Amino acid sequence: MRPVDFLSDFGLEDPYAAIVQAVLEARAPGVRVRHLAHGLPPGDLRRAAYALFEALPYLPLGAVLLAVVDPGVGTRRRAIAAEGRRFYVGPDNGLFTLAWLLDPPHRAFLLENLPPPKPQGVRPLSGWAPGGHTFHGRDLFAPAAAHLALGLPPEGLGPEVPVESLIRLPLNLSPGPTGEVLTFDRFGNAITTLLSAPLGGWVEVAGRRLRVLRTFGEVQEGEALAYMGSAGLLEIAVNRGSAREALGLKEGMPVRLL
């Protein structure tokens, strides 16, 4: 049985993530579901792409990554599964862009063949027909992830599509010297697309020059710095503050090694 690593923006006020888990466990009895994060900012594809990039190198080969951040649910965007050294299940909206830099898929399939789960062990209510078009995590993606967790062939999910047709966000990672602000974490630290920066060197962003240091503690409270983050990307922070606010940073802003 392959483990399932599950990420979403479902939040923690609702049982959505647990319903998906229940469908996975009903279809693939004994599957291990690991919850990667469900408190992601709703619909934030850059943030989700970064979270998957951070986690991927520590997830086992053969794992099934189920990711549901899906602002286009119910529209015509495709639902896909892709196979690299791990499996990927989710909307075809660019969510896996950064993960696939590390583990490029060689095959992809549309999710068209599996039936959604049906309510079980309940009394019918007059007129009631749950389903709808807004909970693909439960109705479309969980059945596909369970199928792959069981070790069944991805061909069973639906027609194959070229991996080149899979949607990617307009993002790239680079060793430098130029990159951009990728996203922010909950403290307002900026994560950039730069894969390296020399310790003691300088970085320019939003009209400022910042020193590349080892960690926060090397500057005073309220001062800004740059440092290599734990995911291997250059980050911009303000010690005990929000770099996003203090420096007026925005997604996509250019960042340059000097």
Contact 235, 244 (CB under 8 A): no
Shortest distance, position 207 Cβ to its own copies, whole Å: 25
Q: Which is nearer to its own copies, 72 or 151 (CB)?
A: 72
Contact 77, 93 (CB under 8 A): yes
How many residues are listed for the chain in this entry?
Answer: 258
Bridge pairing between strands 79-83 and 87-91 = antiparallel
Shortest distance, position 8 Cβ to its own copies, whole Å: 11
* Count of Cβ atoms closer than 10 Å to residue 118 Cβ: 8
Shortest distance, position 250 Cβ to its own copies, whole Å: 19
Q: Which is nearer to its own copies, 71 or 153 (CB)?
A: 71
CA gap 174, 179 in Å, rounded: 7
Q: Which is nearer to its own copies, 193 or 207 (CB)?
A: 193
Q: Which is nearer to its own copies, 54 or 180 (CB)?
A: 54
Q: Which is nearer to its own copies, 159 or 214 (CB)?
A: 214
Contact 195, 257 (CB under 8 A): no
Shortest distance, position 161 Cβ to its own copies, whole Å: 22
Tracing tokens 């049982």 back to the chain, one arrives at 15
Within a 13 Å sphere around the CA of 200, how many CA atoms are in the beta-carbon half? 0
Shortest distance, position 37 Cβ to its own copies, whole Å: 5
